[in-house]
Amino acid sequence: MLQITEGSHAVAEAVKLCRPQVVSAYPITPQTHIVERLAEMVADGDLNGEYICVESEFSALSSCVGASAAGSRVYSATTSQGLAFMAEVVFNAAGMRLPIVMTIANRALGAPLNIWNDQQDSIFLRDSGWMQIYGEDAQEAMDLHFIAYKLAERHDVLLPCFVCLDGFIVSHTFEPVDIPSQKEIDEFLPAFNPLHRLDAKNPMSFGMYATPDCYQEFRYEINAAMIRAKAAYREIAAEFKAKFGRDYTGLVEGYRLEDAETAIVAMGSICGTAKDAIDEMRDAGEKVGLLKIRSFRPFPSEEVRTALKGVKNIAVIEKNISIGSRMLGAVGLEVKDAVYKDSPNIFSYVGGLGGRDIRKRDIKQIVQWAKEGRNDCFFGLREELLK
Amino acid sequence: MTAAELIAMAAFKSNVYSQAFPAFGVERRGAPVQAFVRFDDRKIRLRSQIYEPDYIIVQDITLLKDVNVFAGLKEGGIAVINTEKDVENAPAGVKILKINATKIALEVLGLPIENTTLMGAFAAATGEISLDALKASLNERFAGPLAEKNIRAAETAYNIVKGEM
């Protein structure tokens, strides 16, 4: 049944339904409402797990690593500077193949200090070995948590996963959400069955020293697991769809792409605004569509190529900047790699950084720019502030 | 933000989709803040702020000095304003609906918190949410005597506005 709830509280409900045994997090805007609610749930006895109050994000994820290695289902959430602070442990968690799920309420990185949304934080950990999936609205952000645990814990995957939602834009908005029952989630998501765990009777170590004669093979294995995660994701999302009716089966998702001459490519909440803009442009006779990237890691290059086949102009909306890259945006680089043989006109348009609002008119302008072949650039830039 | 959230809840209970969100990052009680609500017959996908509202609610009239609260308000739009005084600078073609919500809130709740009172006035002025849906959302948000008092405050404002229309 649909009910109005805040995005953050929908995520907290989802986490509770996943029955984590350990939650360890440090509050930081705009993730705060998620962990506050989880702390309440533990204090009230509604969530039968341990909430570890830590003094920093570094400790938050470190304690998750320990608890996960001991065989527990664990959860954390953070954003921006908090994620940057835990970066060392982010790599370690992936290297130890621990299926931790962590929500990222996407936010800009300083300096200058900025608490508002863009996607620079999760994207900067692109190469860490964590999966990264992005929800467009509260419902999708919530549902992706159920899928994320099942995916991360699969023995042929065993990789940690970021579930990303746009800070404030999704985390602080009240909207209708359908919250599944505990029984339904218990049927969908069985208890964590670790392949390896710390056990005094059968001692083993995680994350030990690896010399040049074996380190490279660990990296190979992480990448191989990430590639396997694509098929695993599809299977699990299909199972989710069969049970709950909501369809997240694609690592990408097209919107009105049939016969489209120009395609917007985007991740997260901006896809909603883009869909409304596309409907208006379609009504005016423009052949425009959207390709939503749901999974940034693993990056679904084959799906992107198939979905964009026949599209003349591709405009990637980037809520990040890969500073020093000619293409400007990290998503555009991936898209270009996927489709360069089919389409010459692939552009990155960077905007919405640090919470700058993106409107339908911005989307329409970007479509126009792509049709004109305007090169990779910023949109919504306040020229008067530039020296 | 509480008022926006409650209006979104009541609208949803009136069988439309709704979405409520603050002007991000500055939402604190007592500080000048903006919050936004959208209603639609279908699922709401749009995520930008609202620049051309159909309705505005002004909780604190002293803001009129510093902020053009009417910016973007559509022709034929309704402004529900917490005051008994004359409102200057109101654009032509906008319907101004004045109500002393602070007075009602003080009388009924004993506190100058006008969210629920203005919600009652908004429901009566616009017809976007029914009184029943409004009551249901207040019952969901508040418990016991607090729910009763807030419903009374909202209903008082609702009846005053209906009486003037």
From the list B21, B46, B49, the residue facing A172 with the nearest CB is: B21
Contact status of B9 with chain A (Cβ, < 8 Å): yes
Distance, in Å, from the CA atom of B111 to the CA atom of B91, rounded to the nearest integer, reads 32
Minimal Cα–Cα distance from B21 to chain A, Å?
A: 5
In a mutagenesis test of the A interface, which of B33, B40, B48, B51 is the best target, namely the one with the most A β-carbons within 10 Å?
A: B48
| CA of B35 vs chain A CAs: smallest distance (Å) | 10
Cα–Cα dist A292/A269, whole Å: 10
* Contact at CB, B12 and A172, closer than 8 angstroms: no
Q: Which member of A29, A173, A275 has the closest CB to residue B21? A: A173
ipTM: 0.94
Residues in chain A with pLDDT values less than 50? none
Q: For residue B89, what pLDDT is reported?
A: 81
Cβ–Cβ < 8 Å for A320, A122: no
Kindly list the residues from chain B whose CB atom is less than 8 angstroms away from the CB atom of residue A2.
12
pLDDT of residue B88: 82
CB-CB under 8 Å, A273 with B48 = yes
The pLDDT of residue B27 is 65
Q: Establish if B8 touches chain A: CB-CB under 8 angstroms.
A: yes
Express each pLDDT in B29-87 by its tens digit.
667 788 999 999 999 999 999 999 999 999 998 888 888 899 999 999 999 999 999 88
Q: Where are the alpha helices (DSSP H) in chain B?
A: 2-13, 101-108, 115-126, 131-141, 144-164
Facing A174 at nearest CB: one of B19, B24, B47:
B19
A273: nearest CB among B9, B24, B45: B45
**Runs of H (alpha helix) within A70-197:** 80-85, 87-95, 120-124, 138-153, 182-188
pLDDT over 80 at B25, yes or no:
no
Pairwise CB contact (< 8 Å): B12 & A29: no
- Cα A159 from Cα A24, distance rounded (Å): 18
Residue A291: which residues within 8 A CB-CB, separation 6 or more? A252, A253, A254, A255, A257, A263, A264, A265, A266, A304, A307, A308
Residues of chain B with Cβ-Cβ distance to A168 below 8 Å are 21, 24-25
Question: What integer pLDDT is reported at residue B62 of this predicted model?
Answer: 87
Phi and psi at A373, nearest 5°, equal 75, 20
pLDDT at B159: 96
Question: CB of A137 within 8 Å of any CB in chain B?
Answer: yes
C-alpha distances in Å from residue B149, one per residue of A316, B81, B98, B108, B152: 52, 21, 22, 6, 5
Q: Does A4 touch chain B (CB under 8 A)?
A: yes
- Identify all chain B residues contacting A175, using CB atoms and an 8 Å cutoff: 8, 17-20, 44
Quick: pLDDT tens for A187-225: 999 999 999 999 999 999 999 999 999 999 999 999 999
Q: Considering only alpha carbons, which residue of chain A is nearest residue B5?
A: A174
A50 in helix, strand or coil?
strand
Domain segments of chain B: what residues?
Answer: 2-164
CA distances from A375 to A56, A201, A326, A329 (A): 42, 61, 10, 12
Return the residue in B2, B37, B47, B49 with the most chain A beta carbons within 10 A, the one to mutate for interface testing. B47
Which DSSP string do the residues of A254-279 spell out, in sequence order? EES-TT-SEEEEE-TTHHHHHHHHHH
Return the pLDDT at B164.
84
A214: alpha, beta or left? (left if phi > 0; alpha if psi -120 to 50):
alpha
CB contact under 8 A, A357 and B17: no
Q: Give A357 to chain B, closest Cα distance, Å.
A: 6
Using the 8-state DSSP alphabet, how is residue A136 labeled? S
pLDDT in tens, A70-106: 999 999 999 999 999 999 999 999 999 999 999 999 9
| Homologous superfamily of B2-164 | Pyruvate-ferredoxin oxidoreductase, PFOR, domain III (3.40.920.10)
**Is A253 an 8 Å CB contact of chain B?**
no
Res A344: pLDDT = 80
Rounded CA separation A202/A277 (Å): 58
- Enumerate domains of chain A plus CATH numbers: 2-244 (3.40.50.970), 252-385 (3.40.50.920)
Mutate to test the interface with B, among A4, A290, A363 (most CBs of B within 10 A): A4
Check CB contact of A269 with chain B, cutoff 8 Å.
Answer: yes
- Residue of B12, B24, B51 lying closest to A176 (CB–CB): B12
